[in-house]
Structure 1
Amino acid sequence: MVNRERSGGCKERRVICDEARPNCDRCELHWTRLHPSSFQLPPGRDLDSSRGFFENLAPALLDQRHDSALTLVVSAVSESFLALWQEGARSMQVQRRSFNQAMQRLRTAVLNPTERRSPATFLVVLVMQFHESLAAIYTRRKPSRIHYSGAEALLPLSKLKDGEKVQSAHITRFMASAEVPSATREGRPVPPTAFRWLYNSDYGSVPLNLGAFLADLLSLSLVNNASDNIPPSEEESKPWHP
């Protein structure tokens, strides 16, 4: 990093330090030899990795209204986890007012053909499932997958615009990844649709992270090989409605 501030000697001579050769008095005093880095830091995870829930959530929130279903449910879940951090597991309860407002707004979105196929609508349901899964861990109970089943029901109804394909592709691939812990916990094979979610021909133009793809494909295959064909429980067979 170039020393942008003049050293003591430069100030006395009333000259500007030569940024092309920053071996001024201050640099030598601190035994510092400045030179360009010979290596590059590995890039952080981004949307192209197709993995991780929050990297899908952040871009979708950028163009949401303050009273949208996605904004409301994120606010409710955030307040819930803030209470968990401050007060412990006993406070792991979603904020009902914001959550109920999000549910009402979600019902309206599902009935609207345009909003129903929006990636933001899928994310509302997945945020609800995210909270349900973590709340089950802290409250030591069996998690329900009712919201996840709702996201599955919405996928065939979607007819995405070209501008939404990238985000929708990553959300769909995330759902395939989420099937692995769910199927492992419930001792069941993953449905064939999970493999289609992992690589959908409709998203052929969207960049695919090969490492993430192979890891998910291997995980789905291992779960199928290790699981018996267990009939769904009564809870899993319930129809989903927002």
Structure 2
Amino acid sequence: MVNYGRSGGCVTCRERRVKCDEAKPKCRACHRLRLQCGGYKTKYANLKFKDQSHKFHSQSVMVRSATKPTQEYSLRPLSEPDSAVPFYLHHYARMGRDMSSARGFYEVLIPIYCSQQQDSALSLAVSAVASQVLSLWRHDNSPRPQVAYAQAVQCLRRTLQDSREWGSAATILAVLSLQLFETIAAIYGLRSSTQIHHNGAVSSLPLARAGDNNEILSAYTRQFILHSEICSAIRQGRQLQTVASSWIRDNGLFTVPDNPSAALDAIGVSVARLQAQLKLEVQSGYVTLSREALSEYIAKTRQVDQQLLTWTQCVPDHWQPLRLTNGWSIDSSIPVYQSTCEIYPSCQIATIWNLWRIQRILIIKMKLSLLDAQGELECDSMPSNLQGVAELQPIFQELVDGVCYSVPFYLGNLRKPLSIADFTDSTILFPSSHVLGHNVNWNKQFSYHPQVAVEEHRRHIIAQGPWHVMSPLSRLLTFHSEEYGPPMKTLFRPGQYEWIRDQFLRVTTLLHILPADANTYSGCGSVSESFDPRDLDTMAENHASRVRQGATFMSGP
């Protein structure tokens, strides 16, 4: 639960220095005198969470979950009486988050949420997503999330009737929260995600303004809109929307300083534009591609690839993955690829690295397309083309290896569909937990005793890990099966595709996202064990394609 300060009268009554009855949404005094009620503000207090795990699992242990004492937010009552909102904010918006790796949504959600009235659009949108998330953890089919979603949409429509709210950080976060709700529903429904909320957020960029109290929070919110648009453009192989391109041209992408994620997004703009251009060329069969244009494309791919390589030299030292091998006594219950895994300070940082890897793989794919085009223009260049492919293959394999090495960090030895009880299950192991307490640089990310830091680190991986790794794994399966462009399946190491396939199906088992083909699947073990090996590849690729359709507007690779 959240502790919040004692509220006073409305702003208007305070200014008039008269007694306020504190009626909601408007006090009676203002209503009687036909005055504009200024709403309610509360005293500042530290944001504190009280563990309510006993509501979900009788054997839960108490977890210290107070925020850092330096964080002070203006608070007000929760928008619903149960534990969905604090569960959601604690495990997704607070744990594993750091402003240095912020993309701009979860990291600013708590302070902006706490500045809103409980019947605001943002409060209702957060309530809808929280109810949806907790319902998934409880494995129930409660209609409450859909009811809360409908209420949030209605409230947002009323809010948008006031033009002063169009560019506020709270309104934009409400829109982004509703898009997240739609994304989760689409993934679990194995359908394409609608983009009405995403488009609404993008269209708000020209209207975005500094927040009421904190310009930095608003800057991060705008950053997340751009991040989501860049990621979705790359997923769909399209150009950025005109509104986003115009914003970047006129205002620049770096609305937040010293943020490696924002710096990677800036490179992602070039990746998206180059990919969309070459996709059109591939579909047209390079009929109109001249030697000069080919040379220009080759130069662009080299330039973007060099920018991606330079990015790795600018990230903080503690962001660098720590590679563990059998010498670290990795528990045998944790599946690893080539007896190796890499661990990171948080899921967020690991996913930023995987986004970097996917962007480099996309550049390799573009280079392969250009080699094909070069072969069409110069019939005698086949030996040089083969040499080019041979040079790209080890780079590709190294990048795919990196994604595979990150899987144990995200998943540990998890195998069964996730439930609330997993947060207190001592048999669930992660390769990073025993390292965290001994790494000085990583402990700078926490203000707690090392043992508490280890426990929080473990809980945030259980909550977020499968979601974070689902996208890069599905992306690799897509690279293997894509029909347009050069075939990339020959670039994988022997057996690597099968390992990736099984880990993706393992993730969807954990999240209880069953394949459309799995009508008879019991859900008690691994999906891959329930199918004929001859049908497994097709089923996995179809499943990955459906999941990616739902995740089109999700943050990440």
**CA displacement 1:90-146 (0-9 Å, x = unmatched):** x49772322222122111211113222321000111001112122212211111111
Q: CA distance change for structure 1 residues 173 and 140 in 2, over 3 Å: closer, same or farther?
A: same
Q: CA distance change for structure 1 residues 209 and 163 in 2, over 3 Å: closer, same or farther?
A: same
Residue 192 of structure 1: CA displacement? Answer: 5.1
* Structure 2 residue matching 1:111: 3-state secondary structure: coil
Which of the residues 53, 56, 60 maps onto 2:105? 53
Match of 1:212 in 2: 261
Q: CA distance change for structure 1 residues 108 and 173 in 2, over 3 Å: closer, same or farther?
A: same
1:155 and 2:205 are equivalent in the alignment: yes
Distance 2:237 2:253 in 1: 30
Q: CA distance change for structure 1 residues 170 and 184 in 2, over 3 Å: closer, same or farther?
A: same
Match of 1:64 in 2: 116
Residue 53 of structure 1: CA displacement? Answer: 2.3
1:221 and 2:270 are equivalent in the alignment: yes
**CA displacement 1:7-32 (0-9 Å, x = unmatched):** xxxxxxxxxxxxxxxxxxxxxxxxxx
Unaligned runs of 5+ in 2: 1-95, 284-557
Say whether the 8 Å CA contact 1:173–1:198 is kept in structure 2.
no
Tell me how many residue pairs correspond in the alignment.
184
Distance 1:56 1:199 in 2: 25
Which of the residues 52, 73, 84 maps onto 2:125? 73
Match of 1:3 in 2: none
Which amino acid in the other structure matches residue 133 of structure 2?
Answer: F
* Structure 1 residue matching 2:181: 3-state secondary structure: helix
Residue 213 of structure 1: CA displacement? Answer: 2.6
1:8-87 correspondence to structure 2 within 5 Å? 45-47=97-99, 49-87=101-139
Residue 161 of structure 1: CA displacement? Answer: 5.4
* Structure 1 residue matching 2:204: 3-state secondary structure: helix
Residue 63 of structure 1: CA displacement? Answer: 1.1
> What TM-score comes out, normalization by structure 1 length?
0.65
Q: CA RMSD in A?
A: 3.0
Match of 2:405 in 1: none
Q: CA distance change for structure 1 residues 181 and 158 in 2, over 3 Å: closer, same or farther?
A: closer
Match of 2:466 in 1: none
> What TM-score comes out, normalization by structure 2 length?
0.30
* Structure 2 residue matching 1:95: 3-state secondary structure: helix
Q: CA distance change for structure 1 residues 183 and 114 in 2, over 3 Å: closer, same or farther?
A: same
> Which runs of at least 4 in structure 1 moved beyond 6 Å after TM superposition?
none
Which amino acid in the other structure matches residue 147 of structure 1?
Answer: H
Distance 2:104 2:251 in 1: 21
Match of 1:131 in 2: 181
Residue 195 of structure 1: CA displacement? Answer: 5.1
Say whether the 8 Å CA contact 1:122–1:151 is kept in structure 2.
yes
Which of the residues 154, 173, 176 maps onto 2:223? 173
Match of 1:118 in 2: 168
1:100 and 2:174 are equivalent in the alignment: no
Residue 62 of structure 1: CA displacement? Answer: 1.4
Say whether the 8 Å CA contact 1:169–1:203 is kept in structure 2.
no
Q: CA distance change for structure 1 residues 103 and 127 in 2, over 3 Å: closer, same or farther?
A: same
Say whether the 8 Å CA contact 1:92–1:138 is kept in structure 2.
no
Which amino acid in the other structure matches residue 178 of structure 1?
Answer: S
Say whether the 8 Å CA contact 2:100–2:258 is kept in structure 1.
yes
Which of the residues 188, 196, 215 maps onto 2:238? 188
Distance 1:223 1:203 in 2: 14
Distance 2:100 2:259 in 1: 10
Distance 2:226 2:215 in 1: 16
Q: CA distance change for structure 1 residues 162 and 132 in 2, over 3 Å: closer, same or farther?
A: closer
Distance 2:221 2:197 in 1: 15
Residue 187 of structure 1: CA displacement? Answer: 2.4
Say whether the 8 Å CA contact 2:208–2:222 is kept in structure 1.
no
**CA displacement 1:36-69 (0-9 Å, x = unmatched):** xxxxxxxx74345441521121121111111111
Q: CA distance change for structure 1 residues 202 and 188 in 2, over 3 Å: closer, same or farther?
A: closer
Say whether the 8 Å CA contact 1:118–1:158 is kept in structure 2.
yes
Which amino acid in the other structure matches residue 225 of structure 2?
Answer: M
Say whether the 8 Å CA contact 1:73–1:128 is kept in structure 2.
yes
Say whether the 8 Å CA contact 2:234–2:271 is kept in structure 1.
no
Q: CA distance change for structure 1 residues 94 and 53 in 2, over 3 Å: closer, same or farther?
A: farther
Distance 1:112 1:120 in 2: 13
Distance 1:169 1:84 in 2: 32
Distance 1:217 1:159 in 2: 21
Sequence identity, in percent? 34
Unaligned runs of 5+ in 1: 1-43, 231-242
Distance 1:193 1:117 in 2: 14
